Chain A
Amino acid sequence: MESLTLLFQGLLDIFQPMIFLCLVIGLVIGMAVSIMPGLGLVMGVVLALPFTYTMGLKESIILLTAIYMSGTYAGCFTTILYRIPGEPMDVPLLWDGWGMTKRGEAAKALGWALVAAFTGGMISSAVMVGMAAPLSQLALSFGAPEYFAAVFFGLTTVVALAGNSLGNALISLFLGLLVSTIGIDSTYGADRFSFGSPILINGVPFVMVLVGMYGFGEILAKIGQGASVVEKPAPSSYKTRFPTWAEMWEIRSTIVRSTVLGTLLGVIPGAGATISSFVSYGIEKQYGKRGSQIGTGIPEGIVAPQIASTASVAGHLVPLMTLGLPGSGATAVILAAFLLHGVQPGPFLFQSPESTQLAYTIFTSMFVSVIGMCLLGFLWIRVVVRVLMIPQGLLVAIVIMFALVGAFADRNSISDVWIVVFFGSLAWIFGRFNIPVSPMVLGAILGPIAEDSFTRSMITFHNDWTVFFRQPISAFLLVLAGFSLLYPSLRSILAARSAQRLKSRSA
């Protein structure tokens, strides 16, 4: 009941003109960046960050979460209509979405995507509201070992899910953790790895690493691909035709399965919208009623990935709001926006009436964002897809300028811009050697929390490292972390075995 009152008050807050304007702008930006191949929702959130410096906290967070939310939806337009996935998360939509378009059912495919985004977004937001208060209560009982174990688990999942080589992913992670140690150490006051440079003495702000590696670095990679002209086939229609209730009832198990999966995967740090989308599609293919037909252009192939990717957004906000732990690039930027306004998200956010109301206003904005993005998608699809017509050269220049000037605006420091250029160039070099970027970024973000909780645990428990295994929650999280590290190897062993079995059977 109290939650409903807080949500209602949040709703009143959201319809204040300035906050509502931020939400709408956020939805439009999110849609624009998710449509453009090569740009992504993380980049959208990163580039919008400088604009939040002069805003209030509510406006800032709502702007960024709206970008994040709508960034998981609009890519479906170009994927279904033009066969151009705006983001990697839209690739599973391509197989069935384009399949339906080829049969002249584009309007129906768009309708399914809209229903999926709406369902996934609304249900997962409701789950988030339900989980926030109990989880924050649980988080209050967390000591340093539990925090360390939670961060450690987050880092291992990122490594496990990051790329083709576990070794490369670990190297990337350790480099990120090392970057986070640069500057004056907070516990002992020692100067570490600054080499006397005034740029490094205050440390490397993780926002600059993010802007560099996701913003500047991705644009460098786009330049490296050369100028590509995307020829768009004329779609039969921009109309959206909704599925009937009976049709939706037929695939109810897909809807439930994908929503649960998307929300749960969202809660796990590192498993972002792309992974949720692919896993959900794969599960549907394997266990769905019409799994064998997935890929031929059936609604389940659109609904499963779209629900999961949108549902993951609310899932990602759970650890951020209740534990103060960002599990993805986008939530790290949202954390940065919180910190810039002097607020630390985490269990204490739910302790005072004012901050609790703030949290619930953000939760309410998620529901409004879902409704808003679906409405915008339904009404303005023709306008939204026009973003594709911006020449790549202009896009490259605009995005790089947003990254550089945005970095400068943070502290009016040219040093920060040098850091962005350095990490952007490093991201491109990483790409050349197949080293994934995301573990390094998350290492730089979570590194200080990991080190601080590790050092505090060691000081409190007199250098007894077994404390991490003696506390039940931290032991459980460390077991999960161990599993997530072993999972890629286990998976490849199992895959090799089943392939061998199939081979011997066919022989």
Chain B
Amino acid sequence: MSIRSKVFEILPYVVLLAFATFLYGVAQRFVYTPIPGQIGPDFWPRMIIVLLSVCCVFEIGRRLAFSSAATPAPAAVPDEDYEAEVAPLDLDHEQTHPWFVIAAIAASVLYLAALEWTGFFVATVVYVSVLIWLGGVRRLAVLVPSGFAITLFFLFVFSKVIYVSLPIGRGDFERISLTILKLLGVH
């Protein structure tokens, strides 16, 4: 195994260990009125952080000591028949399109950031269309109407049936949202 791949393997545990160390420091500075003879609010989180750190150190050590990180599977995990039978059915869980996932996360972050400003309707039409595209539907004739239909469905169900006050946006977007809500019979 190359040094690069080994570094990549232990990197998450190193990051977690550093994070745990930072949290331990934070836990030591909790502000509270100590009661003599009692463990205080920092004992439980500190105990967990120590255990987390021990696990990280163990995993780093194990990965440095052995060439492969694989360990035998515990009970109730499908055996090799599972692979043989299921793999041809396209049900393997290989992440062949990680960039699509990153795009979906980025779209979600942008959607949430824009929601207050654009309101639910406008932001959701765009967001849903992007998700449908990322999910594999590429025909515009399906994508855009589906985006509108799904948005209107959610707007109707959550505003009219469950009485959730969804964001309506600001300025022109507010006017668009109110018009749509009026058309759906939501007052």
Query: A residues within 8 Å of B by Cβ?
Result: 37, 50-51, 53-54, 83-85, 88, 91, 94-95, 98, 160-161, 163-168, 170-171, 174-175, 177-178, 181, 185, 187-193, 195, 216, 220-228, 230, 271, 274-275, 278-279, 282, 295, 391-398, 400-401, 404-405, 408-409, 412, 414, 417-418, 421, 424-425, 428, 431-433, 451, 454-455, 458-459, 462-463, 487-488, 491-492, 495-496
Inter-chain contacts of A193 with B (CB < 8 A): 23, 26-27, 45
Inter-chain contacts of A398 with B (CB < 8 A): 150
Do A178 and B48 touch across chains, with their CB atoms under 8 A apart?
Answer: yes
Instruction: Using known A-B contacts A54-B163, A94-B85, A462-B37, determine if residue A393 contacts B95 with beta carbons closer than 8 Å.
Output: no
Inter-chain contacts of A412 with B (CB < 8 A): 164-165
Instruction: Using known A-B contacts A224-B100, A394-B150, determine if residue A161 contacts B74 with beta carbons closer than 8 Å.
Output: yes
Least CB distance, B101 to chain A, in whole angstroms: 4
Whose C-beta in chain B lies nearest to the C-beta of A425?
B105
Do B55 and A174 touch across chains, with their CB atoms under 8 A apart?
Answer: yes
What is the bound-complex CA distance between A37 and B45, given in angstroms?
A: 38
Chain B window 1-28, contacts with chain A (Cβ cutoff 8 Å), 1 for yes, 0 for no: 0000000000011001000000100110
Inter-chain contacts of B33 with A (CB < 8 A): 188
Question: Is B168 among interface residues, defined by CB-CB distance under 8 A?
Answer: no
Question: Is B131 among interface residues, defined by CB-CB distance under 8 A?
Answer: yes
Do B95 and A408 touch across chains, with their CB atoms under 8 A apart?
Answer: no
Inter-chain contacts of B142 with A (CB < 8 A): 391
Question: Is B89 among interface residues, defined by CB-CB distance under 8 A?
Answer: yes
Question: Is B144 among interface residues, defined by CB-CB distance under 8 A?
Answer: no
What is the bound-complex CA distance between A432 and B143, given in angstroms?
A: 29
Do B158 and A405 touch across chains, with their CB atoms under 8 A apart?
Answer: yes
Whose C-beta in chain B lies nearest to the C-beta of A428?
B101
Question: Is B122 among interface residues, defined by CB-CB distance under 8 A?
Answer: no
The 28 sampled A-B contact pairs (Cβ below 8 Å) are A54-B161, A167-B58, A171-B16, A181-B44, A185-B32, A188-B32, A190-B32, A193-B23, A221-B93, A221-B95, A221-B101, A223-B134, A225-B95, A227-B136, A228-B136, A279-B75, A295-B81, A393-B136, A394-B135, A396-B132, A396-B135, A400-B104, A414-B112, A428-B105, A451-B44, A458-B38, A488-B74, A488-B75
Inter-chain contacts of A190 with B (CB < 8 A): 30-32, 40-42
Question: Which 10 residue pairs spanning A and B have beta carbons closest together?
Answer: A227-B136, A393-B135, A393-B137, A396-B135, A488-B74, A492-B72, A190-B32, A224-B95, A174-B52, A190-B41
Instruction: Using known A-B contacts A171-B16, A418-B112, determine if residue A192 contacts B41 with beta carbons closer than 8 Å.
Output: yes
Least CB distance, A177 to chain B, in whole angstroms: 5
What is the bound-complex CA distance between A454 and B135, given in angstroms?
A: 45
Question: Told that A181-B45, A405-B154 touch, could you supply 4 new A-B pairs with CB distance under 8 A?
Answer: A95-B81, A174-B48, A193-B26, A405-B158
What is the bound-complex CA distance between A492 and B77, given in angstroms?
A: 13
Do A161 and B76 touch across chains, with their CB atoms under 8 A apart?
Answer: yes
Least CB distance, B159 to chain A, in whole angstroms: 10
What is the bound-complex CA distance between A398 and B93, given in angstroms?
A: 21
Do B23 and A220 touch across chains, with their CB atoms under 8 A apart?
Answer: no
Inter-chain contacts of A418 with B (CB < 8 A): 112
Query: B residues within 8 Å of A by Cβ?
Result: 12-13, 16, 23, 26-27, 30-33, 37-45, 48-49, 51-52, 55-56, 58-59, 62, 69-78, 81-82, 85-86, 89-91, 93-98, 100-101, 104-105, 108-109, 112, 115-116, 124, 128, 131-137, 142-143, 146-147, 150, 154, 158, 161-167
Inter-chain contacts of A171 with B (CB < 8 A): 13, 16, 52, 55-56, 59
Main secondary structure of the interface of B (DSSP, over half): helix
Whose C-beta in chain A lies nearest to the C-beta of B62?
A167
Inter-chain contacts of A181 with B (CB < 8 A): 44-45, 48
Whose C-beta in chain B lies nearest to the C-beta of A224?
B95
Chain A CB within 10 A, most for which of B55, B86, B142 = B55
Whose C-beta in chain A lies nearest to the C-beta of B103?
A223
Least CB distance, A82 to chain B, in whole angstroms: 9
Instruction: Using known A-B contacts A401-B150, A487-B75, determine if residue A226 contacts B97 with beta carbons closer than 8 Å.
Output: yes
**A228 partner, pick from B51, B75, B90, B163, beta carbons under 8 A:** B90
What is the bound-complex CA distance between A177 and B49, given in angstroms?
A: 10
Whose C-beta in chain B lies nearest to the C-beta of A421?
B108
Instruction: Using known A-B contacts A185-B41, A405-B166, determine if residue A393 contacts B133 with beta carbons closer than 8 Å.
Output: yes
What is the bound-complex CA distance between A463 and B47, given in angstroms?
A: 14
Instruction: Using known A-B contacts A171-B55, A193-B26, A392-B135, determine if residue A95 contacts B96 with beta carbons closer than 8 Å.
Output: no
What is the bound-complex CA distance between A163 and B72, given in angstroms?
A: 10
Inter-chain contacts of A417 with B (CB < 8 A): 112
What is the bound-complex CA distance between A54 and B134, given in angstroms?
A: 33
**A189 partner, pick from B32, B162, B167, beta carbons under 8 A:** B32
What is the bound-complex CA distance between A412 and B116, given in angstroms?
A: 13
Inter-chain contacts of A163 with B (CB < 8 A): 74
**A397 partner, pick from B12, B37, B131, beta carbons under 8 A:** B131
Chain A CB within 10 A, most for which of B40, B76, B100, B134 = B76
Instruction: Using known A-B contacts A178-B45, A225-B93, A495-B72, determine if residue A392 contacts B136 with beta carbons closer than 8 Å.
Output: yes
Least CB distance, B83 to chain A, in whole angstroms: 11
What is the bound-complex CA distance between A31 and B101, given in angstroms?
A: 27
What is the bound-complex CA distance between A110 and B12, given in angstroms?
A: 46
Instruction: Using known A-B contacts A164-B77, A170-B51, determine if residue A401 contacts B23 with beta carbons closer than 8 Å.
Output: no
Do A421 and B59 touch across chains, with their CB atoms under 8 A apart?
Answer: no
**B164 partner, pick from A91, A98, A391, A405, beta carbons under 8 A:** A405
Least CB distance, B185 to chain A, in whole angstroms: 18
What is the bound-complex CA distance between A265 and B74, given in angstroms?
A: 16
What is the bound-complex CA distance between A495 and B74, given in angstroms?
A: 10
Chain A CB within 10 A, most for which of B31, B41, B42, B100 = B41
Do B132 and A164 touch across chains, with their CB atoms under 8 A apart?
Answer: no
Least CB distance, A298 to chain B, in whole angstroms: 15
What is the bound-complex CA distance between A274 and B49, given in angstroms?
A: 31
Chain B CB within 10 A, most for which of A228, A279, A405, A432 = A405
What is the bound-complex CA distance between A285 and B69, given in angstroms?
A: 30
What is the bound-complex CA distance between A190 and B33, given in angstroms?
A: 9
